[in-house]
């Protein structure tokens, strides 16, 4: 019998997972406590920007395969497999992950689980969380031990969420029984038969895979950004350096793009939560290097402000700065811990008139940074600018015509915070081109 699936928490991860599971052929119900979010999703609308997701979601809602509710009783009765996709943000009082929403979700769902089912955690958590949740589940579910827990971390990237979910590099599951393993094997059978590796582990290992992967990626980015600092001290070129390193297949070229560094809702908070959790375990020394990874990353933002100041002849007062980019990365409207906006706002506070343009993220940016000015095109943002800062590498910015843009600015000076523009093209159009980690 085909299992019926539910997804608890319909944010970024949950909405994507629900739509993709419907795409695999399952009947899926998404649950959230946020009524506005549920109303939007039930109307077939995605309340954030993610390529491909709106079409997928609308199609499956219209077909009746995918629905959304705020009624937890409904999903408890309907679901054979419940996926937990609630957020685990950084705690306001420190580095640790805030697990409140996850525990609330389990505490609300468990007392309603009256028949055998599998609860599958997908949120990013410190190892040990699944074991605690499993205990709570069996203690308060009327069906007792017939309710099982599994852990199945999610590795999707924003901007590629649908493709990453339907064509993942691997599926990792942490289980305590072969029944749970079989249930997940069967749910993911369409992906497994397409060749996606299926790895079975214990709870703690499955939880750890996710944080370890994100720590590795963050470390790789900070490594090349540390090399950028060295390049700045010696006059070397980090882009050329990265190209040469990338040709060694043991190193590889991905995540070796030097620039303003990482932001977003995952890498920064995950490495900080990892540090906090390892310290709690008495294993803090093992990941002490992640403090450097974080520090190198944040130093890039200061360096960017310095370079912008240099291009403003040493003072921001009375200068106009055009900022291209607000999202933490292209193809996303997510501004959580966005390096672009932090740089823009620092420069505004230092006295410049800063105007920002981003293809998708301006509504979010305007809520979080209301003091910045916003324009509705790259050209409008750069009008009369003393310096242009390229801070998020949208395709639209790479395709900009430097001759045409040169006609609207006050001075042709650009700092490329993402090493994504072609310096020769900009210099040929009369621009002073500066970048992070390049002479």
Q: Give the annotated binding-site residues for NAD(+).
A: 32, 37, 88, 124, 158, 269, 336
Cβ contact 405:379 at 8 Å: yes
Query: Closest distance between ligand UDX and the C-beta of residue 67, in Å?
Result: 26
Phi first, then psi, for residue 136 (nearest 5°) are -65, -40
Question: Is 85 an annotated catalytic residue?
Answer: no
Point out the annotated binding site for substrate. 155-158, 210, 255-259, 263, 329
Q: Which long-range contacts (CB under 8 A, 24 or more apart) does 404-410 make?
A: 404/379, 405/378, 405/379, 406/430, 406/431, 408/379, 408/382, 408/383, 408/384, 409/322, 409/382, 409/383, 409/384, 409/385, 410/320, 410/384, 410/385, 410/386
Residues 55-84 that bind ligand UDX (CB under 6 A): none
- 27, 46, 52, 161, 361 from 56: Cα distances, Å: 14, 10, 6, 12, 22
Residue 268 sits in the site that holds ligand UDX (CB under 6 A): no
Query: Closest distance between ligand UDX and the C-beta of residue 351, in Å?
Result: 27
Query: With 0-12 CB in 10 A as exposed, 13-18 as middle and 19+ as buried, what is 47?
Result: middle
Query: Closest distance between ligand UDX and the C-beta of residue 220, in Å?
Result: 7
Nearer to ligand UDX, 311 or 392 (CB): 392
Nearer to ligand UDX, 10 or 124 (CB): 124
Residue 325 sits in the site that holds ligand UDX (CB under 6 A): no
Nearer to ligand UDX, 7 or 72 (CB): 7
Could you tell me which residues come within 8 angstroms of residue 103 by beta carbon, excluding any fewer than 6 positions away?
133, 136
Residue 329 sits in the site that holds ligand UDX (CB under 6 A): yes
Residue 133 sits in the site that holds ligand UDX (CB under 6 A): no
Query: Closest distance between ligand UDX and the C-beta of residue 264, in Å?
Result: 4
Could you tell me which residues come within 8 angstroms of residue 164 by beta carbon, excluding any fewer than 6 positions away?
155, 156, 157
Query: Closest distance between ligand UDX and the C-beta of residue 213, in Å?
Result: 6
Phi first, then psi, for residue 139 (nearest 5°) are -70, -40
20, 117, 231, 266: the active-site residue: 266
Could you tell me which residues come within 8 angstroms of residue 341 by beta carbon, excluding any fewer than 6 positions away?
326, 335, 356, 365, 368, 369, 372
Go through the chain and tell me how many residues it has. 439
Nearer to ligand UDX, 157 or 427 (CB): 157
Nearer to ligand UDX, 69 or 392 (CB): 392
Among 9, 79, 261, 359, binds ligand UDX (CB under 6 A): 261
Residues 142-181 that bind ligand UDX (CB under 6 A): 155-158
Query: Closest distance between ligand UDX and the C-beta of residue 186, in Å?
Result: 24
Nearer to ligand UDX, 330 or 402 (CB): 330
Query: With 0-12 CB in 10 A as exposed, 13-18 as middle and 19+ as buried, what is 11?
Result: middle
For strand 413-416 and strand 198-201, is the pairing parallel, antiparallel, or unpaired? Answer: unpaired
x/- binding map, residues 416-435, to ligand UDX, per CB under 6 A?
A: --------------------
x/- binding map, residues 211-240, to ligand UDX, per CB under 6 A?
A: ---x--x---x-------------------
- 5, 10, 13, 68, 321 from 35: Cα distances, Å: 20, 11, 17, 10, 40
Residue 264 sits in the site that holds ligand UDX (CB under 6 A): yes
Query: With 0-12 CB in 10 A as exposed, 13-18 as middle and 19+ as buried, what is 65?
Result: middle
Nearer to ligand UDX, 38 or 267 (CB): 267
User: Which residues in 35-129 belong to E strands, given as ranges?
Assistant: 66-69, 81-84, 117-121
The torsion of the CA quartet 391, 397, 400, 404, rounded to 10 degrees, works out to -40
Query: Closest distance between ligand UDX and the C-beta of residue 106, in Å?
Result: 22
Query: Closest distance between ligand UDX and the C-beta of residue 301, in Å?
Result: 12
Residue 17 sits in the site that holds ligand UDX (CB under 6 A): no
Cβ contact 67:42 at 8 Å: yes
Among 9, 87, 263, 402, binds ligand UDX (CB under 6 A): 263
Among 48, 328, 369, 433, binds ligand UDX (CB under 6 A): 328
Point out the annotated binding site. 32, 37, 88, 124, 155-158, 210, 255-259, 263, 269, 329, 336
Residue 256 sits in the site that holds ligand UDX (CB under 6 A): yes
Nearer to ligand UDX, 109 or 227 (CB): 227
- Closest by CA position to 37, among listed 92, 100, 85: 85
Catalogue the active-site residues. Answer: 266
**Chain residues in the site for ligand UDX (CB under 6 A):** 155-158, 214, 217, 221, 255-257, 259, 261-264, 266-267, 328-329
């Amino acid at each position: 019998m085909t299992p019926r699936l539910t997804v608890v928490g319909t944010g970024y991860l949950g909405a994507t997972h629900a739509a993709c599971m419907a795409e695999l052929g399952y009947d899926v119900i998404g649950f959230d406590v946020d009524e506005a979010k549920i109303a939007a999703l039930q109307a077939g609308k995605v309340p954030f920007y993610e390529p491909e997701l709106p079409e997928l979601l609308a199609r499956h809602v219209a077909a009746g395969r995918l629905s959304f509710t705020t009624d937890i009783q409904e999903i408890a009765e309907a679901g054979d497999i419940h996926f937990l996709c609630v957020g685990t943000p950084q705690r306001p009082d420190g580095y640790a992950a805030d697990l409140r929403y996850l525990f609330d979700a389990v505490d609300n769902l468990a007392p309603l689980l009256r028949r055998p089912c599998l609860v599958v955690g997908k949120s990013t958590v410190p190892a040990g969380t699944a074991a605690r949740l499993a205990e709570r589940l069996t203690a308060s579910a009327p069906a007792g031990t017939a309710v099982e827990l599994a852990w199945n971390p999610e590795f999707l990237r924003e901007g590629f969420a649908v493709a990453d979910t339907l064509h993942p590099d691997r599926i990792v599951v942490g289980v305590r029984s072969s029944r749970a393993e079989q249930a997940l094997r069967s749910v993911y059978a369409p992906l497994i038969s397409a060749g996606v590796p299926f790895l079975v582990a214990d709870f703690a290992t499955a939880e750890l895979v996710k944080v370890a992967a994100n720590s590795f990626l963050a470390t790789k980015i900070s490594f090349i950004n540390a090399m950028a600092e060295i390049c700045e001290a010696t006059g070397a070129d980090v882009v050329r350096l990265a190209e040469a390193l990338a040709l060694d297949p043991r190193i590889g070229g991905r995540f070796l793009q030097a620039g303003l560094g990482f932001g977003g809702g995952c890498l920064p908070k995950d490495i900080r939560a990892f540090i906090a959790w390892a310290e709690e375990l008495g294993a803090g020394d093992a990941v002490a290097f992640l403090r450097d990874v974080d520090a190198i990353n944040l130093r890039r933002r200061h360096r960017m402000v310095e370079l912008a100041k240099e291009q403003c002849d040493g003072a921001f007062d009375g200068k106009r700065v055009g900022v291209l980019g607000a999202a933490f990365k292209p193809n996303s409207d997510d501004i959580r811990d966005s390096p672009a906006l932090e740089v823009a706002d620092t420069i505004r506070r230092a006295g410049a008139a800063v105007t920002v343009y981003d293809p998708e993220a301006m509504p979010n940016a305007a809520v979080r940074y209301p003091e910045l000015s916003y324009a509705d095109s790259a050209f409008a943002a750069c009008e009369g600018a003393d310096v242009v800062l390229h801070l998020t590498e949208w395709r639209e910015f790479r395709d900009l015509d430097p001759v045409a843009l040169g006609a609207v600015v006050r001075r042709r000076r650009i700092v490329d915070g993402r090493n994504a523009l072609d310096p020769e093209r900009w210099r040929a159009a009369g621009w002073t081109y500066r970048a992070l980690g390049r002479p």
